Chains A and B, each alone.
Chain A
């Protein structure tokens, strides 16, 4: 019975952790993308001839900003599907 309670507690806290990892990661990525897109639009409005030069760099930086979020999603999936914390519960 105690093992089941341990299991339930670990799973519950892991669920909260997964939510925080994905939620805070998404919030950070969205703020970063918002700032970068605003700067791109401002730059494009000031010098429209720079748009082709900036386009590729914007895509690269979008990927870089999203990298932390993608890593967070990977970690969250690890905790969801192959949770290493569950190994402490006795069988």
Chain B
């Protein structure tokens, strides 16, 4: 089995997350324009806010996880990974809270959840991209 660099994993993850976020934002913009339930601009911005929360959380987690690259002990690596995951969840929850508090007036909640879900789920798609290489 080939040795995959951790930095390569983060880059793949980030690429998939950004792609998912932008796709959902465009999709929501078009849907809102066709259906006319919410303002298309605000729906797209809401989707971007949701997706970018997951992206920024992922970057924060990756920065912490990167520090465990030089360790050879499996236990120490695992502790670093769990710390990174805790930081990631905290950052995502904080950014979502700020979005709901500061952008409350024009927020389209369904678009935000869609952007967040697409970004969070598709980060795992990087796994299959790595297997192809």
What is the interface of chain A, defined by CB distance below 8 A to chain B?
A: 33, 37, 40-41, 44-45, 48, 50-53, 55-64, 66-67, 69-71, 73-75, 77-78, 80-82, 84
* In contact, A56 and B109 (Cβ under 8 angstroms): no
Contact B54 A70 (CB under 8 A): yes
**Interface size of B as a range:** 35 or more
Question: Is the pair B6, A63 in contact by a Cβ cutoff of 8 Å?
Answer: no
Q: Which 5 A-B pairs have the closest CB atoms?
A: A64-B124, A44-B74, A56-B9, A81-B100, A67-B120
A64 in contact with B88 (CB, 8 Å): no
CB distance from B116 to the nearest CB of A (A): 5
Interface centre among B10, B62, B77, B97 (most CB of A within 10 A): B77
A-B contact count (CB 8 A): 124
Residue in A48, A50, A62, A78 whose beta carbon sits within 8 Å of that of B85 in the complex? A62
Interface string of B73-108 (1 = CB under 8 A from A): 011011001101100110011001100110010010
CB neighbours of A55 from chain B (8 A): 6, 68-69, 77, 81
A67 touching B1, Cβ below 8 Å: no
**Are B124 and A51 within 8 A (Cβ)?**
no
Q: How far apart are the CA atoms of A82 and B107 in the complex, in Å?
A: 9
Is the C-beta of B50 less than 8 angstroms from some C-beta in chain A? yes
Please determine whether B77 and A81 come into contact, CB atoms closer than 8 angstroms. Answer: no
B126 within 8 A of A: yes
The reply to whether B58 and A63 contact each other, CB–CB distance below 8 Å, is: yes
Contact A45 B74 (CB under 8 A): yes
B residues within 8 A CB of A33?
82, 85
B65 lies within 8 A of A59 (CB): yes
